[in-house]
Amino acid sequence: MTVPLIRAEHLSVRYRRARGGDILACRDLTLTVQAEETVALVGESGSGKSTIGKTFVRLIEPSAGHLWFRDRDVAHLAGSALMDYHRAAQMIFQDPFSSLNPWHTVAHHIRRPLARLQHLRGSAAEAEIDRLLEQVNLTPTGQFRDKYPHELSGGQRQRVAIARALAANPVFIAADEPISMLDVSLRADVLRLLESLQTRHALSFLYITHDLASARYLAHRIAVVYGGSLIELAEAGELVEHPAHPYTRLLLAASPGSPMTGALPETEQSAPDLSPMRSGCPFAPRCPHVMDRCREVMPDWTPAAPEHDVACHLHA
């Protein structure tokens, strides 16, 4: 059996707060990403998606559980060992303006990871900068190398961010809402770029989004997360056409162009409870099908169809 490229096992991330109590932004997550696979992590704002992505690339250290990269647990790496992992795992951030330093040029943003992670300097680094800019369609490269972020459009800035991630020569990239800050006319171009780069570089992606339409286009599988917990996982087309969890159906009903008609009624619209003391299904307070056991016991994973699993008492 093929070993997954990335495998999270019972992964949890706790944020400690001086006031108001701790929160579990990621709770007991088990998820795999195969080589050259795109897994979309879908959920509304505050569901824990960005925390999971940053943990997968080890910008955040998990509080519990394991994070396997091939056959090595990278959950608690530090120092040079962590830098070695960052050569393999990179991140594209949501806001292409705030993720770039306004004081530095496009070339500087790409030159730095080339030097730190690939040990490329001088003419070799300059040639690689041009090659990466060409790959993200920022040509002629001479027109972009010396520009600053404020001199670029939003789509151009995001392409620079993608080139910077590629500069480490990774095999895994967590892309955190990479099109949400872009004009609608540019989103399809960036998705096609990511798709072509995956083929060219044999990349695996964790594609983080709230948009099920783009998730279905780009991803092989879709994982739905709510309140820090994974609640549904299936092949992309299967999940969109046959959603099993009430929350997934709610997301589809809110998506433009969705085949689902009519809104799913909710009992309330409060934010999910991220307290470590929470019990039961995180969606129970909003679910129109809630039962007493939903509030008391977190449901186990249940097959809703072949290769389609859901954590919901309705399917137990």
Residue 115 confidence (pLDDT) above 60 = yes
pLDDT of residue 263: 56
Question: Phi/psi of residue 62, each to 5°?
Answer: -65, 150
Total structural domains in the chain? 1
Whole-angstrom distance, CA of residue 161 vs CA of residue 116: 16
Would you say residue 252 lies in a domain?
yes
Would you say residue 248 lies in a domain?
yes
Contact in structure between 86 and 18 (CB atoms under 8 Å):
no
Whole-angstrom distance, CA of residue 316 vs CA of residue 295: 15
Would you say residue 280 lies in a domain?
yes
Domain of residue 266 covers 32-62+71-315
> What CATH number should be reported for the domain holding residue 190?
3.40.50.300
Would you say residue 42 lies in a domain?
yes
Contact in structure between 9 and 66 (CB atoms under 8 Å):
yes
pLDDT of residue 181: 79
Mind listing the pLDDT tens digit for each residue in 283-310?
Answer: 999 998 999 999 999 999 999 999 999 9
Mind listing the pLDDT tens digit for each residue in 45-67?
Answer: 889 999 999 999 999 999 999 99
Would you say residue 208 lies in a domain?
yes
Would you say residue 225 lies in a domain?
yes
Mind listing the pLDDT tens digit for each residue in 174-197?
Answer: 999 998 878 888 889 999 999 999
Would you say residue 128 lies in a domain?
yes
Would you say residue 18 lies in a domain?
no
Mind listing the pLDDT tens digit for each residue in 187-228?
Answer: 899 999 999 999 999 999 999 998 898 999 999 999 999 999
Whole-angstrom distance, CA of residue 144 vs CA of residue 291: 58
With bands split at pLDDT 50, 70 and 90, how would you rate the model's confidence at 239?
A: very high
C-alpha Rg value of the chain to the nearest Å: 20
Whole-angstrom distance, CA of residue 221 vs CA of residue 132: 28
pLDDT of residue 219: 96
pLDDT of residue 255: 73
Kindly report the pTM of this predicted structure: 0.93
Whole-angstrom distance, CA of residue 26 vs CA of residue 13: 5
Contact in structure between 216 and 42 (CB atoms under 8 Å):
no
